Amino acid sequence: MMNYAVQADGLTVARGPRTVLRHLRFTVPRGQITGLLGPSGCGKSTLMRSIVGTQAKVTGTLNVLGHPAGHPTLRSRIGYVTQAPSVYDDLTVRQNLEYFAAILAPGRPAADRRHEADRVLADVDLTSHADALAGNLSGGQRGRVSLAVALLGTPELLVLDEPTVGLDPVLRRDLWTLFHDIAATRGATLLVSSHVMDEAERCHRLLLMREGEILADDTPDALRTRTGTDTVEAAFLRLVDEAAAAHRTQQTTRAQETTR
Amino acid sequence: MSTTTPAAPTSALSTSRTAATAARVLRQLRHDPRTIALMILIPCLMLILLRYVFDASPRTFDNIGASLLGIFPLITMFLVTSIATLRERTSGTLERLLAMPLGKADLIAGYALAFGALAIVQSALATGLAVWLLGLDVTGSPWLLLLVALLDALLGTALGLFVSAFAASEFQAVQFMPAVIFPQLLLCGLFTPRSDMHPVLTAVSDVLPMSYAVDGMNQVLHHTDMTATFVRDVLIVAGCAVLVLALGAATLRRRTA
Ligand SMILES: Nc1ncnc2c1ncn2[C@@H]1O[C@H](COP(=O)(O)OP(=O)(O)O)[C@@H](O)[C@H]1O
Ligand SMILES: [Mg+2]
């Protein structure tokens, strides 16, 4: 059994004319929650789309659950939540779940699918809205339906793109409890992105990103200790400053070399 | 190394995934009863209108009415499919589905099945109304009219699916209707026999599928048996539908920029 759910080396992605991810090298350990943190536009969604195999123009090495990303057998082993809720607005919450359950595991009795829908509805605390049209729900509720779809089946890897954005603090806490529960009881791997640094404390490991590069790949504790800071946010700022300083020295030495 | 979960197969076509998709598309429509009502009633109303426009010349009503029975399903299914698949693309559900073990053929067959079923209802009502209530005079069997109408609906679904790949918004998708359908409408022989047109236009109309749809309808109108021309027409329309469906499948990309 491999220790890593995701392993990347020299991962580069171009979107349009721009290179959005540049030579990334990192690993995501199995059975843990890894947070993918960085400001909006740094490339979190692009990285996640590369992992689930929906991103074009990906070069370098990217292995997911022991296969190259996008391999057909991975499609039933990964649960993916896109950043914008992707559910059918003109179906009820339950109809959405039952349809996607039928796609994931065709040929199962309807009663099984119903139970499965009930289970994931309870997970995201939407049981009372099961028969509401998805289009009539609030943004946060639709996001939770989208999350519930990803929980169908028993995915070994959950890739969640900003699943807690716009939720009230109580719900956010409940979802993080659910994520930890999924990792602990099912041994699943979770990769959760966020642009809010305070979610970092809830992750086992962090990938800090900025402008298409990985600044750090560590545990929250180690990160704070290494940078001598109290919060992950402060650690992030410190790392950005250090990177900028290193960049400047590099440029000055290069400039000196050329004038010499 | 071992794969623990027995991965659900992603074969070329899975009947249960196709059926689930067709049921889902119909369920979506059921939440929109007004669209269903419009799809089913408008062809009937147009036929009634046509019947009284040509009150004094029943022969003209026969010719145009039979042609329209083939054209309505094509236009309606074209519009509905292009908007439905465009929504699927823009809402992110297509990305989600293609990241799941769903074959592209399952998705396309699911859509074709759902809209095909709807087309049967639409065409059956329109044909029944035209033949039994409005006195449309068909020499051949009304079932053959229905068959051509169904194939036309499939062709409309296929064209709609295909053009939705080139539309970035619903505004653009609707504009494809005059671009794709109108030239065919003008050249299909509805207004004047194709042989009377400028030779260049006759040649162009020879390669447009709607010409054969309308010709097929007219074969049923004038002949008691299935003529060789009718069989040719049916095969051409069916072949075009399959070809365009395959082109549509090629526009569904698992990986996008
Ligand atoms: N469809 C697209 N085509 C071209 N560039 C894109 C596209 N989507 C995103 N980008 C660019 O890629 C970069 C990373 O975007 P994204 O991965 O969405 O970042 P994040 O999820 O961290 O906010 C941004 O600079 C954005 O402008
Ligand atoms: Mg994003």
Chain A positions in Cβ-Cβ contact with residue B20 (cut-off 8 Å): 99, 102-103, 106
* pLDDT score of A259: 62
Average pLDDT (A11-30) is 95
Atom 18, ligand 1: residue with shortest CA distance = A45
> How many contacts, defined by CB atoms under 8 Å, are there between A and B?
106
Residue B79 CA, distance from chain mean position: 9
Q: Is the pLDDT of residue B12 over 90?
A: no
Ligand 1 pocket member A44 (CB < 6 A): yes
* pLDDT score of B229: 94
User: B83 burial class (0-12, 13-18, 19+ CB within 10 angstroms)?
Assistant: middle
A161 CA from centroid of ligand 2 (Å): 7
Torsion, CA A128, CA A130, CA A131, CA A135, rounded to 10: 110
Q: What is the pLDDT of residues A92-102, one digit of tens each?
A: 999 999 999 99
A85 CA from centroid of ligand 1 (Å): 17
pLDDT classification of A208: cutoffs 50, 70, 90 = very high
Q: What is the pLDDT of residues A57-115, one digit of tens each?
A: 999 999 999 999 999 999 999 999 999 999 999 999 999 999 999 999 888 888 999 99
Q: What does pLDDT average to over chain B?
A: 89
Q: What does pLDDT average to over chain A?
A: 92
What is the C-alpha separation between B103 and A103, in angstroms, rounded?
A: 10
The whole model's pTM is what? 0.89
Q: What percent of chain B has pLDDT over 70?
A: 95
CA distance to partner chain A, nearest, from residue B151 (Å): 28
What is the C-alpha separation between B107 and B152, in angstroms, rounded?
A: 20
- Provide the ipTM: 0.86
Average pLDDT (B73-100) is 91
* pLDDT score of A246: 82
What is the C-alpha separation between B65 and B75, in angstroms, rounded?
A: 15
